[in-house]
Structure 1
């Protein structure tokens, strides 16, 4: 019996007690790998036999063998015929604590009512969404099983283009629409395509903080242009930097003040972009939520020179967890 307990006493302090639940071979593998990576088991050290491990931890022999096979296949151990299993000569050595403690995750469920960007569950909308989802996934087509157009699925882009032409006066077709994971990604793509580090950009003051973060993070020189009861003032923008390469605005419902940019200011902004060969990024994040008559036509719909990129999202009219938005891209930027 003593011959069958090779290295048995030497391992008491090294191998921790395994949890009682879960796949035992995986737990044993994780424990041994941790000992190897932290240097508790030195390079070339001999591992105990699978029989010893199975007896010590109450495992089946096959579970212990599976653990060793994983260690060997991943390069943490080597097997030598007639000699046993040893720690491999070249393995990573990691500290016991890999990362600093992080702050606790945000408790999404604890968000306060009426918080910004929080949608309310609507039973009718969810029922319709569930019916449509079930209908289209009952017999999925081949397009669901391959990577298609990088702009996104044509049927959805066609539906979006039809809606935007009717409801917002946007002048576009499906070919100009790029689907995104939300407004944030759409803005990031536009900045990459249209701007270079150091380019000057107008942004509303005050503004949507994450838009400022994207622009500043891209290396742009950001100029905050004051917002009053008529929206962003292009005259002040020109006094700050007349040759800016772009302007980011929320003209339908300014964030966070809620004002609507007047027609006079809209025309002045479009004229500035045309004269300076600049871009306007129109974030139309919640134009559907207007109850005192229809919203003003989008800036993009008034633009005759192809200088306006239009950002939209489904986060407000459906729910943010859907993570779908879109960009109507000017033809000159579409390839980029």
Structure 2
């Protein structure tokens, strides 16, 4: 059967400074959003469109490559290029939706009546190595650290310099507490294409990192002494912050299917929040099963609770395509979706974002204005340019391939050097993993002491046990949590594995 090519009129402005390939990208995005190009329709061939526009075939090919990477188009070899049949409805409705203001979305300058979550709770215990291992000067095996050597710094420097030289007054003024509008728009489109998250730009709030995201959410929606389901084991730095905010933590066990919702219900069915990492559980790497996802959503509906989904590194998956977000299954508007640029770009950027349910937009907007903690507009604008010009999609594609190679380098080295003394369950995604020590003749390995020796040797691996609420019980698993994104070659992987073995032997 012959599939007709969609009629498409594209006009290029050769007087503007915007490159032609980016103009082509923008014309396609607009045509798809407006419904002029529908999912499954074939688009003009490279040569045909190049002739129509009187431009080089390579220019059109670059635009098509960007649109394919972003998920708008699919290339099917000799059959041609088509609008992706799996485009989320949010993208197709984008042109109409962007003109619809969310009721009450314009934040007020005041934030009266917003409940504040006071401190006063006993802070979570902190191990001395945690802060040093997860911040400051990068060190080998640091968890959560992307490949700093592979980030396109020249491109990034050019974008930042261009914005800094532009003379735009917005770059110098106080930033919008809700986020730079073009970046919010790009994030909404990206999430619709890559994560199945349907949202409007008004629902997206840009923050200064995951901790700032949690603070915004809790100040907006939490009450003093609210109870929060927390994965056990769970993300260390979030646990420490939550313990300082006045909420009460309810540790819920995690198994190979993710957080045990049934167990959580038995512990506290009326908790107000559940903080979860469904796509790549931190630190064990498990994926929340579909049955558990549906059970968690049912719990939130019945308890009128909120699910905070931390989707911190789901872009990097090495077996199959990235999984849809839990938020994509949310039909009851109970999931608060959190993402970050720390893992996909670099952590020094200090930019993250949160997608809040429509019913909470007004409240969160008021609190964001009262906090007046907007991130620098210069960097937000540069990130928006990074996404719009296709660099973001290309960078993610390169990093998936690179990380897939680097994780196997360290796994092979660990098996070769440590053998059965260290058990590695390699997760299907992420930029870090947990490995467990085999119990020796003298009992369980003291992974905290081991991590301290590794730290003294210049490494940043963390002990696994401290991720658990009861970290020092006899039954608590002992091991290490390590990142692999910055391992350059097999020789370095071997040196790191031998350093770990020396720390284990001491």
Q: Which TM-score band (shorter chain)?
A: 0.5 to 0.7
* Matching residue within 160, 173, 179 for 1:133: 160
The equivalent residue for 1:151 is: 178
The equivalent residue for 2:206 is: 179
**RCO higher in structure (CA 8 A, sep ≥6):** 2
Contact 1:245 / 1:277 at 8 angstroms: preserved in 2? Answer: yes
Query: Is residue 330 of structure 2 the alignment partner of residue 320 of structure 1?
Result: no
User: Offset of 1:109 from its aligned partner?
Assistant: 6.7
Query: Counterparts of 1:133 and 1:270 in 2: how far apart (Å)?
Result: 41
- Which shifted more, 234-243 or 188-197? 188-197
Change (3 A) 1:128 1:219: same
Query: Is residue 333 of structure 2 the alignment partner of residue 306 of structure 1?
Result: yes
The equivalent residue for 1:114 is: 141
Query: Counterparts of 1:219 and 1:109 in 2: how far apart (Å)?
Result: 28
* Matching residue within 307, 311, 323 for 1:296: 323
- Which shifted more, 129-138 or 314-323? 129-138
Q: Please, which runs of 5 or more residues in structure 2 have no aligned partner? A: 1-127, 364-506
Query: Counterparts of 1:269 and 1:257 in 2: how far apart (Å)?
Result: 19
Query: Is residue 220 of structure 2 the alignment partner of residue 220 of structure 1?
Result: no
Query: Counterparts of 2:294 and 2:337 in 1: how far apart (Å)?
Result: 16
Query: Is residue 357 of structure 2 the alignment partner of residue 335 of structure 1?
Result: no
- Deviations along 1:8-51, whole A, 9 cap, x unmatched? xxxxxxxxxxxxxxxxxxxxxxxxxxxxxxxxxxxxxxxxxxxx
Runs of 4+ in 1 over 6 A off after TM superposition: none
The equivalent residue for 2:276 is: 249
- Deviations along 1:225-261, whole A, 9 cap, x unmatched? 1000000011100000000101000000000000010
Contact 2:213 / 2:352 at 8 angstroms: preserved in 1? Answer: yes
Contact 1:191 / 1:215 at 8 angstroms: preserved in 2? Answer: no
User: Offset of 1:106 from its aligned partner?
Assistant: 5.1
Q: Please, which runs of 5 or more residues in structure 1 have no aligned partner? A: 1-102
Query: Counterparts of 1:213 and 1:334 in 2: how far apart (Å)?
Result: 27
Contact 2:164 / 2:171 at 8 angstroms: preserved in 1? Answer: no
Change (3 A) 1:238 1:111: same
TM-score for both structures, normalised by structure 1 = 0.66
Q: Where do residues 168-207 of structure 1 align in structure 2 (5 Å cutoff)?
A: 168-207=195-234
Contact 2:151 / 2:345 at 8 angstroms: preserved in 1? Answer: no
The equivalent residue for 1:232 is: 259
Q: How many residues are aligned here?
A: 234
- Deviations along 1:135-161, whole A, 9 cap, x unmatched? 222213232233353211101111111
Change (3 A) 1:283 1:124: closer
Q: CA RMSD in A?
A: 2.1
SS, match of residue 171 in structure 2: helix
Contact 1:125 / 1:318 at 8 angstroms: preserved in 2? Answer: no
The structure with the larger Rg is 1
Query: Counterparts of 1:125 and 1:304 in 2: how far apart (Å)?
Result: 38
TM-score for both structures, normalised by structure 2 = 0.44
Structure number having the greater helix percentage: 2
Query: Counterparts of 1:207 and 1:109 in 2: how far apart (Å)?
Result: 22
The equivalent residue for 2:314 is: 287
Query: Is residue 269 of structure 2 the alignment partner of residue 269 of structure 1?
Result: no
User: Offset of 1:124 from its aligned partner?
Assistant: 5.4
Contact 1:204 / 1:248 at 8 angstroms: preserved in 2? Answer: yes
SS, match of residue 345 in structure 2: coil
